[in-house]
Amino acid sequence: MASEQRFDQRLAWRSENLRFNAFGAALKRKFGGRIQRVSIDAGFTCPNVDGAVARGGCNFCDNRSFSPSRRVRLKQVNEQLTRGIASVTERYSKVAGFIAYFQPATNTYAPVDQLEELFELALSLDDRVVGLAVGTRPDCVPDSVLDLLEHFAKTANVSLEFGMQTIHQAGLDWMNRAHDHASMVNAIDRSRGRGFECCGHVILGIPGETHTMMMQTAQEVGRLGLDAIKLHNLYAVEGTPLGDQVIAGEIEWMGKDEYIHTVVDFLERIPPETIVERISGEAPPSYLIEPRWCLEKSSIRLGIEQEFAARGTRQGDRFVPPEVAPADRPRPSDTTPESIRHQIDQRRRLPVLKMEG
Ligand code: SF4
């Protein structure tokens, strides 16, 4: 009965004249009012930067600030959240609650006792903090981390966000992700059914990826049973290897109209219950190099809604259920690389998050 109720709730958008299962509306339905995310930089680094799996990081990621010598103290985390809540409250008169969003870098890349201290702090700071969102890589969630998130999910809304980006190895290699899609499948199959939501980030417009390949990634969203997705167009910011390639004229971009059509094609192929948390890139305007159209967020959203209306379709209309339902997929053994496991489970203190004395 409980799962039927959850299913119905996740399809409620269809009776609200919406074309897709938009995040803001889903949160409002769940919490009875506006919920805002407050981004927190807790000073993590990334195994794709510090050498645990590779160095240099993803080609689109501005990871210059992920220095292992940087110290972010719990007090600073506390201050970021307090400041963020104050600034949102000033901007919007009616906010029902906040989600502490651990956003930059790999936010599960620290010993579990440090993660516990950090997440506990965020959840207990203010009664209006209703949950956590934790951004990470698919190869950086050993079972010990998932057990911890399962614990917090008993009393709070917890979302684990994975950088999936694409299912195709050529694209993952081009981005220098330093993990394969099998890591994503392993992570999701171990995360499912633990009470927290699993969200996958996907990039559309990776050079060399055809429309068919992007639609294969869309199908995988349903096969894996992701609870939510964030769609981004590929974009380049200053200070990244991708930015250098753009300046050298080596990258061909998807145009805005093509992006809008591709997003609609993508959303038609994912399950109707998947929450769509984002439909375009969130580029910082002052660092963005290309494509400049991704700053036109309202017009992109309008374009997507108009395209759905013109087709007379909505999210999920072309979804083909997988042969094995996600809930019936067996939970595999943990394939977290030893180099990452060592940092998380065995090393006692990482230099990335210094506790208050
Ligand atoms: S995995 Fe994430 S944090 Fe690490 S380099 Fe790539 S985008 Fe940046």
Q: Whose CA is nearest to atom 3 of ligand 1?
A: 105
| Every domain of the chain and the residues it spans | 2-354
For ligand 1, pick from 41, 44, 45, 58 the residue to mutate: most ligand atoms within 8 Å of CB: 58
Kindly give the number of the ligand 1 atom that is closest to the alpha carbon of 49. 5
Q: Residue 8 has what pLDDT?
A: 63
Residues in contact with ligand 1 (CB, 6 Å cut-off): 46, 48-49, 57-58, 61, 63, 105-106, 137, 163
What kind of fold does domain 2-354 have according to CATH? TIM Barrel (3.20.20)
- The torsion angle over the Cα atoms of residues 51, 56, 61 and 65, rounded to 10 degrees, is 70
Each residue's pLDDT, cut to its tens digit, for the chain (357 residues) gives: 444 444 568 899 999 999 999 999 999 999 999 999 999 999 888 999 999 999 999 999 988 777 656 667 777 888 999 999 999 999 888 899 999 999 999 999 999 999 999 999 999 999 999 999 999 999 999 999 999 999 999 999 999 999 999 999 999 999 999 999 999 999 999 999 999 999 999 999 999 999 999 999 999 999 999 999 999 999 999 999 999 999 999 999 999 999 999 999 999 999 999 999 999 988 888 999 999 999 999 999 999 999 999 999 999 999 999 999 999 999 999 999 999 999 898 776 665 565 554
3-state SS, one letter per residue, for the chain: CHHHHHHHHHCHHHHCCCCCCEHHHHHHHHHCCCEEEEEECCCCCCCCCECCCCECCCCCCCCCCCCCCCCEEHHHHHHHHHHHHHHHHHHCCCCCEEEEEECCCCCCCCCHHHHHHHHHHHHHCCCCEEEEEEEECCCCCCHHHHHHHHHHHCCCEEEEEEEEECCCHHHHHHCCCCCCHHHHHHHHHHHCCCCCEEEEEEEECCCCCCHHHHHHHHHHHHHHCCCEEEEEECCEECCCHHHHHHHCCCCCCCCHHHHHHHHHHHHHCCCCCCEEEECCCCCCCCCEEECHHHHCHHHHHHHHHHHHHHHCCCCCCCCCCCCCCHHHCCCCCCCCCHHHHHHHHHCCCCCCEECCC
Ligand 1 centroid to 46 CA: how many Å? 6
The Å distance, Cα 325 to ligand 1 centre, comes to 30
How far does the centroid of ligand 1 lie from the alpha carbon of residue 254, in Å?
23
Rounded to two decimals, the pTM is: 0.94
